[in-house]
Structure 1
Amino acid sequence: MRASRFFISTLKEAPSDAEIISHKLMLRAGMIKRLGSGIYNYMPMGLRVIRKVEAIVREEMNRAGAVELLMPLVQPAELWQETGRWDKMGPEMMRVKDRHGRDYAIQPTSEEVVTDLVRTEIKSYRQLPVNFYHIQTKFRDERRPRFGLMRGREFTMKDAYSFDRNVEGMQQSYRIMYDAYVRIFNRFGLQFRAVAADNGAIGGSGSHEFHVIADTGEDALVYCPSSDYAANIEAADALPLISMRAPAAQPLVKTPTPEKSKCEDVAALLGLPLTRTVKSIVLAVEKNEGKEIWLLLLRGDHELNEVKAGKVPGLGEYRFASESEIFEWFGTKPGYLGPINTKKPVKIVADRTVANMSDFVCGANEEDFHYTGANWVRDMPEPVVADIRNVVEGDASPDGKGTLAIQRGIEVGHVFQLGDRYSRDMKATYLDEGGKPQLMQMGCYGIGITRILGAAIEQNFDDKGIIWPASIAPFEVVLCPMGYDRNEAVKAEADKLYDGLVANGVDVILDDRGERPGAMFADWELIGVPHRIVIGDRGLKEGALEYQGRRETSPTPVPISQIGEFIRAKLAG
């Protein structure tokens, strides 16, 4: 490719609404252009990166035995109604009507469509297992689109769906896809971590997320440096920090705590460590027979894990209680709530650590008062015990092999064991060896194709611009001739080198625009091409060209006769 025949539209400054570094750099490098809220044009430079990401994904999916097809962007509502997700998906799923008034979804995902396809086409156990995948546009009507391609409304995704005869087969297909994802992210050249995760709205029995490690990541990843344990903080098991409950040693005392509604302030007032306090969180659940109020108890230095809370039996459809509801059930405003002498009966859930605490401090259900010396059984009944908190650094690893650390990550892939979550609702069955119908066991596997671009940049940039891994860079090599339009010797050598690299399959661009060196170098450093070769008159007289890797701070002279072999070695490395 010659730059004069390509489209390069770099900017010195990012638009004011660009937020994170990847958003700023992609706009400045001319890779994307905003069309509307969360919707972007993929410009030629950015599209080249997308196509390289897609190529790697396709190669590894095909290698793993998946079969590519293409499912529609617009999907009939009837399929989503079969699984109950037409109502459950909420406003993130864009719904439209055709001219006849029939309902359709602009697909956010394709579980229903692929299950419908398979229940029509697959009849016998002899046709299983099968794994279909496609790379397709998705649309999710985010409440607040932000961060460019990281949290846009329209995006490109690879999703795959496996169908097996039994759970063992599904687990084998899951492992094949997991291994394929590891190969994919290794080929991308990104530092990543696979972590156990919550299945969320997709459903199923188990899943792993693939995260690109980056300080700007939205997700907290929990791992044990001395073992293989890793999980998203939403799914990380929080062990009790107190092994067993000690006997009560203090009397229950109603203690004045004027204007002290936070655990930190109460602990400071009483001269106690924060770990002696218990905080209260009130949730509400709407039932046909009326409203249920739940009180969740956490140690004062811990935070509620909302995903875990939703898995407590009876709390699947919870919401946070309003202030009026809190006053009705507890008789006081938030900040002074506790499990002793509530105004109306509530269901009490204690985190594992709180359940083993003795002589703790909690709200007295009266403004400006807390109880000290609170103890289970003596002062209040035993609670329901559940893991409802976020782990913190230094907690014991659930596998017993060390302590936990936390780092930030950007989710770019997710693999799920769905089981019969969709096949049961949609009656996707096959006939087994005995001629009896059996439900297919499913898995699903997604990669955010366009999100990879933002994640890769968040991990690989400097003050000059993007630093692409060579495997997904828009071009592998850029040739920068000094005075291409003015110096015949430079032009001749640049053309010769360009033709030779192209003939050897190198993805190279020749900057033949006649730009000044400073402007030319700034463009390609911003765009992030991994390898640069400078052809200048002085170097030609000395029989050498200048090579500089994007991460390197100074150039290396390379004899003209060796430059082809030199570049091939760099690309192979």
Structure 2
Amino acid sequence: MRWSQTFTPTLRDDPAEADAPSHRLLLRAGYVRQLTAGHYSLLPLAVRVRSKIIQIVREEMARIGAQEMLLPTMHPAEIWQRSGRWELMGQEMFRLKDRRGADLALGMTHEEIFATIAQELSSYKQLPQQWYQFQTKFRDEPRPKSGLLRVREFTMKDAYSFDIDQAGLDASFEAYHGAYVRIFERLGIPAIPVDASSGTMGGSGSTEFMCPAEIGEDLVVHSPACGYAANIQKATSRLPKPDDGPGEPAPEPFDTPGVRTIEDLATGYDASGDRQIKTLVYLLEGRLTLVLLRGDHPLNEQKLVDATGATSIRAAAPEEIQDALGALPGSLGAVGVTGHPVIADEALRGRRGMFTGANTDDVHLRGVDVDRDIPVGTWADLREVAAGEPCPRCGEPLRIERAIEVGHIFKLGDRYARALGAEVLDPDGKRVPLVMGSYGIGVERAMAAIVEAHHDDKGIVWPVAVAPFQVAVVIAQSDDAETAAAAEEIYAGLGAAGIEVIIDDRAERAGVKFRDVELTGIPFRITVGRRGLAEGMVEVTTRATGETVKVPPSEVVAHVETLLS
């Protein structure tokens, strides 16, 4: 390939709209262009990188016996309605009608559609089955941002396993877990497997693969000491056992004029946050519910969703709270409350001598015994952990860092098979629903994550496995016939050896060519110039380290082959 014939529109300056390093560099290096918010055109260099990512994923899918398919992106509403996700997906699903008025959706994911194909399976003897595809997905993100990291249209490798029972699903899940570890290692993405919430996917468990990055929108909680890792929506910690003493015989009301916050009560009434019961009020599936936590603990809403299975959740408005409890936020509590469900965080279990609102404005209670005084209907892990808290496994301080989700694998169970009638005969001749798993990797997101992990102040630093070209041959003086001829000979030799090479034959200054090779991230640069040739040498520069060595032209191919090996 000749640089003079490629479409690689590099930019000298950073685009003003780019907020993430990958966004900035993929734009500057001529890999992508934005069509509209959340929709990007992939230019020739990006297509080459994308194809290499896909090939690596294909190889690892083949290694575990997965078969590639290609299913439609436009789905009839009826299939999503049968699974219950037509409404659950909400505004993120692109919906439309055809000329006959039939409701359709642009696929966000393909669990339902693969399950309809699985209806053609008839016997446990055909299992397990592993199916996957590379297909465009559409999600109406309310705030697309960060280039390829949060978009409305993207390519996903989504895979699905079909087994006869939970043991089979566990084996499939482990096979994909291993495949994902290998995929991210080969892509050069430092992905950490973490326990995660299954969210709208449902099922018994899931694992996210998270790439640490300052721009990341997810938070990963982990212990360097023992390897514990979980998404903030799933993470737990080990709390010290409180010493509450014997408690009080009954709650005692006391006036708290002007107290509206946990801090107000702690400052003015000797009630530290860890001795307070924070009462939040939510509408879950339209039903007003009291949610209790320790005063110094924040709620993680996804944990509340997971604990209750609620598909509709919102914080109650002040007027709704006052109508139900008789007080405004700041004086709320669950003591003596009837007619409304109460769900409490595990950190409150067994606590005595606690403080909480009295459901009368400007009045609180002291001496509350949670088990005695509050009708808790459900106990659950609701609180969000904080950095420095003890690890639940080893007790060492936990760390929290930002990360990008680059892959997610789910144990779905039989939810979709039951809804869509995907059943087979088991060994006893009984019809049973298939047990499914779902396994996703965003291809363009992986591309962006690689850049987030591999860049410097000069541009992208692609790992060799995914680079658009392995080597760039730069003619330092393109107007010098001898120099150009020597460069062409090296270029031809590299190509004949099967090395992916591009020659920069543009009538540009050497500095411009060097800048573009560095910006676009090509792993190795061979500089052919008059001065070097006079010494019988050319220069080979490694992009990742900046190291340059001089090599005779006749030895360049062998030297590059050694570098690539």
Measured against the shorter chain, the TM-score band is over 0.9
Q: Specify the SS of the correspondent of 2:247.
A: coil
- Shift of the 250–160 alpha-carbon distance from structure 1 to 2, 3 Å rule, reads same
Specify the code of the residue in structure 2 equivalent to 1:82: R
Q: Is 2:450 the counterpart of 1:451? A: no
Are the counterparts in 2 of residues 238 and 387 from structure 1 also a CA contact under 8 Å?
A: no
Q: Does 1:393 align with 2:387?
A: yes
Equivalence for 1:139: 138
**1:540 equivalent in structure 2:** 533
Check whether the contact 1:250–1:359 (CA below 8 A) recurs between aligned residues. no
Verify: 1:570 aligned to 2:563, yes or no.
yes
- Cα distance between partner residues in 1 of 2:318 and 2:209: 39
Query: In structure 2, the residue corresponding to 1:131 is in which secondary structure?
Result: strand
1:352 CA drift (Å): 1.8
Q: TM-score, normalised by structure 1?
A: 0.92
CA distance in structure 1 between the aligned counterparts of 2:162 and 2:520, rounded to whole angstroms: 42
Instruction: For 1:52 and 1:279, locate their aligned partners in 2 and report how far apart those are by CA, in whole Å.
Output: 52
TM-score, length-scaled by structure 2: 0.93
Return the offset for 1:44. Answer: 0.8
Counterpart selection for 1:491 from 484, 494, 501? 484
Distance 2:25 2:290 in 1: 46
Q: How does 1:407-426 map to 2 (within 5 A)?
A: 407-426=401-420
- Paired residue for 2:2? 2
Where does residue 52 of structure 1 map in the other structure? 52
| Contact 1:133–1:160 (CA under 8 A) maintained in structure 2 | yes
Deviation at 1:54, TM superposition (A): 0.5
Aligned to 1:510: 503
SS in 2 for 1:445: strand
- Counterpart in the other structure of 2:455: 461
Contact conserved, 1:245 with 1:356, CA < 8 A, in 2?
no
Query: Do 2:525 and 2:540's aligned partners in 1 also have CA atoms closer than 8 Å?
Result: yes
Q: Return closer, same or farther for 1:539/1:75 CA change in 2, 3 Å cut-off.
A: same
What is residue 327 of structure 1 aligned with on the other side? 322
Partners of 1:203 and 1:179 in 2: CA distance = 22
257-266 vs 295-304, greater mean Cα deviation: 257-266
| Residue 438 (structure 2) pairs with residue 439 (structure 1) | no
Counterpart for residue 209 of structure 1: 208
2:118 alignment partner in structure 1: 118
Q: Gaps spanning 5+ residues in structure 1: where?
A: none
Fraction of identical pairs, as percent? 43
Residue 439 of structure 1 and its aligned partner are, at CA, apart by 1.7
Offset, 1:374: 3.8
- The correspondence for 1:526, drawn from 500, 515, 519, is 519
**Counterpart code for 1:68:** E
Single out whichever of 557-566 and 509-518 deviates more from structure 2.
Answer: 557-566
2:370 is paired with a residue of what secondary structure? coil
1: distance between equivalents of 2:244 and 2:562?
64
What is the letter of the counterpart of residue 517 of structure 2?
Answer: W
Give the total of aligned pairs: 565
CA-atom RMSD in angstroms? 2.4
Asked if the contact 2:490/2:553 (under 8 Å) is kept, the reply is no
Deviations 1:232-278 (CA, angstroms, capped at 9, x unpaired) = 11112344443675321699565555544222343234466443333
Are 1:31 and 1:44, in contact at CA under 8 Å, matched by a contact in 2?
A: yes
Q: Which residue does the alignment assign to 1:160?
A: 159
Alignment of 1:244-323 (within 5 A): 246-248=245-247, 254=253, 257-270=256-269, 273-286=272-285, 292-313=287-308, 317-323=312-318
The code of the aligned residue for 2:524 comes to H
**Pairing of 1:217-232 with structure 2 (within 5 A):** 217-232=216-231
CA distance in 1, matches of 2:249, 2:554: 86
Alignment of 1:92-107 (within 5 A): 92-107=92-107
SS in 2 for 1:365: strand
CA offset digits 1:40-72 (Å, max 9, x no partner): 111111111111111101111112110111111
Query: Any stretches of 5+ residues in structure 2 without a counterpart?
Result: none
1:190 aligns with 2:208: no
Pairwise CA distance, 1:7 = 0.8
8 A Cα contact 1:213 1:408, kept in partner: yes
Separation (CA, whole Å) in 1 of partners of 2:144 and 2:280: 30
Would the aligned equivalents of 2:238 and 2:395 in 1 still touch at CA under 8 Å? no
Alpha-carbon offset, residue 403 of structure 1: 4.0
3-state secondary structure, aligned to 1:18: coil
**Aligned equivalent of 1:337:** 332
Q: Counterpart in 1 of 2:353?
A: 359
**1:152 CA drift (Å):** 0.5
